[in-house]
Structure 1
Amino acid sequence: MTTTFFLVRHAAHDRLGRVLCGRMPGVTLGREGRAQGEALAARLAGEGLAAVYASPLERAQETAAPLAARAGLAVEILPALNEIDFGAWAGQSFDDLHGDPAWTGWNQARHVTRPPGGETALEAQARVLRGLEDLRARHGEARLALVSHADVIKLVIAHALGLGADGMQRFEIGPASVSVLVLGAWGAKVESLNERAFLGHHA
């Protein structure tokens, strides 16, 4: 018995690449992000989804909404899919963070560095992997869409590939991308990585 997870990174918002949003409230999709959400819904429309789960954050829920609507499902909120808790770093610009020695430490050794007031990468990885195992136990042989965040998805993929938490920096998980993970009693297998389904795909 295997469970197939479509790991979806939320679509684009206007702070992307400039601000470490973390769990700060009020980060919502712009026009580009909403168009990406519709493209994702079209990409996943034929996959026979049994459920759509999303991180508690607005940008993930907004990305999940068209996916669920297309599949005739409701979006279910799953705290295990939440962004890494970056503590005091949330809401800071990347330009400001670059001068912080702790930020340098985080980028060099994420498995042992704790953001101020936040969680380590290993804690976040354990949280999301427990969540996936719970879903596998609940749904069994099913296909599920999970809308989460780049680093959280990277931690899942790194684990499936047998990489340490720092291995998450060796591959890309772009906005509005889909990565496919299969979980069984035998372990995990990555079927696809960082598929792009949105605007410009056919250009």
Structure 2
Amino acid sequence: MATTLFLVRHAVHGLVDQVLCGRTAGVHLGEAGRHQAAQLAWRLGQARLAAIYSSPLERAQETAAIVAANARLDPVIEDALTEIDFGAWNGRRFDSLRDDPDWRRWNTERGTARPPGGESMGEVQARTMRWAESASDRHPDGAIAAVSHGDVIKAMVAAVLGLPLDHYGRFEIGPASLTTIMLWRGGASLLRMNEAVA
């Protein structure tokens, strides 16, 4: 028996590529994001989902709510799926971080670096993979969706593929994309990555 896990990056919002939103509250989907979420809902409507889980952050919850409504499910808020805790960098504009040596280290040494006052990507990977194993046990032989964040999904993909976290930059997880993993007791495989639906 195996569980199909659709990892969904939340749909687009107005601060993508400008601000490191992290765990900043009050970041909501705009019109384009709601359209993307509707496209995700249509795509996932074919999957006969048993459950939809979501990061507690607004942009993820709003994406999950649209997908869940189409599937006639209630999204389940799951803290393990939340964004990386970027500590002092939460809410900073990317251009203000460019010359920070800690920022440069974070982007070249994800396996060992840590944001000031935040969590490491290794910690993110551990918490999300524990959740995935538990979710697979709850939904054996079913399909579930988890709405989360780009780097969180990258950490999970790296775990499934056995890639060092320093290689996180070698693949992309775009807004409103689907990445599909098959999970079974003691193993996992990547079926599709960064599937664009909108």
Q: TM-score, normalised by structure 2?
A: 0.98
Q: 1:154 corresponds to which residue?
A: 154
Is there any run of 5+ residues in structure 2 with no aligned partner, and where?
Answer: none
Q: 1:201 corresponds to which residue?
A: none
Is there any run of 5+ residues in structure 1 with no aligned partner, and where?
Answer: 199-203
SS at match of 1:6: strand
Using the alignment, how far apart are the partners of 1:142 and 1:165 within structure 2? Answer: 29
2:10 aligned with 1:2: no
Using the alignment, how far apart are the partners of 2:138 and 2:27 within structure 1? Answer: 31
2:130 aligned with 1:122: no
Q: Which amino acid aligns with 1:86?
A: F
2:178 aligned with 1:178: yes
Kindly report which structure 2 residues correspond to 1:1-203, keeping only aligned pairs within 5 A, or say none: 1-198=1-198
Using the alignment, how far apart are the partners of 2:3 and 2:115 within structure 1? Answer: 33
Using the alignment, how far apart are the partners of 1:121 and 1:36 within structure 2? Answer: 27
Deviation, structure 1 residue 165 = 1.1
Q: Which amino acid aligns with 2:192?
A: S
Deviation, structure 1 residue 53 = 0.3
Using the alignment, how far apart are the partners of 2:60 and 2:51 within structure 1? Answer: 15
Using the alignment, how far apart are the partners of 1:91 and 1:178 within structure 2? Answer: 25
Instruction: Please give the per-residue CA displacement for 1:150-198, whole angstroms capped at 9, x wherever unaligned.
Output: 0000010111111011222110100000010001124110000101111
Using the alignment, how far apart are the partners of 1:191 and 1:137 within structure 2? Answer: 19
Using the alignment, how far apart are the partners of 2:106 and 2:177 within structure 1? Answer: 24
Instruction: Please give the per-residue CA displacement for 1:67-117, whole angstroms capped at 9, x wherever unaligned.
Output: 111111001001110000000100000000011110011011011111011
Deviation, structure 1 residue 138 = 1.6
Instruction: Please give the per-residue CA displacement for 1:105-149, whole angstroms capped at 9, x wherever unaligned.
Output: 101101111101100000011010011011112222210010000
Question: How much is the aligned-residue C-alpha RMSD, in angstroms?
Answer: 0.7
Using the alignment, how far apart are the partners of 2:193 and 2:135 within structure 1? Answer: 21
Q: Which amino acid aligns with 2:83?
A: E
